[in-house]
Amino acid sequence: MISAADRKSAIELIDEANENGARIELACRELNISARTYYRWKNSKEDKRPLAKRPSPKNKLTKEEKQKILKVVNQPKYKDLPPSQIVPSLADEGVYIASESTFYRVMKEAKLNTKRTGVKTHNVKTIDTHIAVSPNEVWSWDITWLPGPIKGGYYKLYLILDIYSRMIVGWEVYEEESSSNAESLVKKAVFKHGILDRPLVLHSDNGSPMRAQSFQALLEKLGITKSYSRPRVSNDNPFSEALFRTLKWNKDFPVKGFESIEQARSWVFEFVNFYNKGSLHSGIKYVTPYDRHYGLDDEILKNRKEVYREAKAKNPSRWSRNIRNWDKIKKVSLNPTDDLDKKENLKKKVL
């Protein structure tokens, strides 16, 4: 791009050369431009629009009017209100200064369009994070809907999962969601696994059965620490959500609905039995949740590692690297954070 000053200089040089007997075309050639460009530059009018003086809009606010708006919005009775409420309130008093949009614009210029005093700010809830290094330390539970015999009708599956072992430690199928059903499920699971008065964290979402006062009172009575997902955050309870996905993607899941609640309970019983004792879970080194929950995975992983070592010894050329890592997973974190990882690493260094 050639600036206006450079164009003016080029025109002056060409004109001077032409006055001294040089042809326009030859003079232009010396400056690497065409004669056509020279004539276009010379005949073009200077753009004076940026320098033009324009009359102010007739509806422009005066300084006095702007000051009046700022004075009004800073009055004690209006300082907590937005313009959408201030302007109608002034009109009720028989006063009109400017429109709401004008109020907003003037406040923006004065940097008064941020949070007004007295306005409640949004409190960001910190995520609940827990670590399990053995069974029955952190449980996750939730409720999912199972299709019934009629369209729009559902049975409610209550299910508790141990995040360390991934074993289903308690479940029930009911016809409705209620805190009393949740209380019954938790009491059965606690007594079944013999962990009364032992430290336990129970994590869930923010459903009404989970937040009921009677349910929370039961947790305190049993010595259970309650933990909840953040409001409107669906992935803070990942273990239960993943299990429900596994359940509903099962090839035998009756997508057209269960004929009765008895059939639903029978199907879930078979699923839980297979899931706990017959499925190899990828998150726990492909052992069953039952084996990990009761410590049987130590011997399984030890034998599996030995098989791999022997296989490598027989055919070392087939192994470009070390054997697969079959070391036991020592801990499982629920919603881990960077701060938590830093604390764990520091703890390892100290120990």
Domain boundaries of the chain, sorted by first residue? 4-46, 65-109, 130-290
What is the tens place of the pLDDT at every residue in 253-286? 998 999 999 999 999 999 999 999 999 999 999 9
Residue 348 scores a pLDDT above 50: no
pLDDT, one tens digit per residue, over 294-308 is 999 999 999 999 999
Task: Output the pLDDT for position 309.
Answer: 92
- Between 72 and 58, name the one with better pLDDT: 72
pLDDT for the residue 232: 67
pLDDT of residue 124: 62
**Mean pLDDT of the region 156-166:** 96
Output the pLDDT for position 203. 93
Looking at per-residue pLDDT, the higher value among 99 and 340 belongs to 99
- CATH class of the structural domain 130-290: alpha beta
pTM of the prediction?
0.62
pLDDT in tens, 183-195: 999 999 999 999 8
Mean pLDDT rounded to a whole number for the chain: 86
Angle between helices 261-278 and 238-248 (to 10 degrees): 110
pLDDT value for 80:
80
